[in-house]
Amino acid sequence: MSQTEAEIKIPGPDVASLTARLTDAGFALEVIHPRHFEDNRLYDTADRALSGRAQALRLREVDGTATMTFKGKPKDAAETAVKVREELELVVESADTMALIFERLGFVPVFRYQKYRTVHEVNHPELGISLLAMFDETPLGCFLELEGEEDALGIAIRHLKLQKEDYLTSSYPRLQAERCQAAGKPMEDMVF
């Protein structure tokens, strides 16, 4: 079954200030997955065929559980103010076995990134919207990732009075690539 995700990232100094930004705007937060550590690996072919098509194949490990994810090419930025793309996920029994399957199919690990994440369901009764809010603590800093239906996300952006320069639609690998380039060094994993 195909699913579409729409998301933005809001950078902030810390999780507390990002949380306050939502609660001050009238959003109610309910923790649905407490703070946890995520270890993510992106896979691609040797010639980077997936990244060349703006697609991603990820293997994520959290508390002994592994999730395989395919992310499709995002909608053109001229069509939407948020990142919208197909996302297919499947929980797998063993990250090690899945990694071997990827490698046997010709995929190699190309990037690793880690973060601490807390997941909330966020509701605004007056606006009639519900979103997921992921508070990410990464080696790049803290981010609030809002995810949900594209229309609901647009309402939240307007209600939070966010301008385009206040949020990001880039992935963590893209942000890490920009950081490495700005520092004049080759791309490196984003790990603690």
Q: What is the pLDDT of residues 50-87, one digit of tens each?
A: 999 999 999 999 998 999 999 999 998 777 889 999 99
Query: Distance (Å, rounded) from C-alpha 69 to C-alpha 143?
Result: 21
What's the whole-number mean pLDDT along residues 137-142? 97
**Residue 3: per-residue pLDDT:** 87
Q: Residue type for 179, please?
A: R
pLDDT above 80 (res 2): no
Domain ranges, ordered by start, for the chain? 4-182
> The tokens of 77 are what?
């930025």
Q: Does domain 4-182 have CATH number 2.40.320.10?
A: yes
By the 10 Å C-beta count (0-12 exposed, 13-18 middle, 19+ buried), 126 is classed as exposed
Mean pLDDT of the chain: 95
What's the whole-number mean pLDDT along residues 148-174? 95
pLDDT above 60 (res 1): no
User: pTM for the whole thing?
Assistant: 0.92
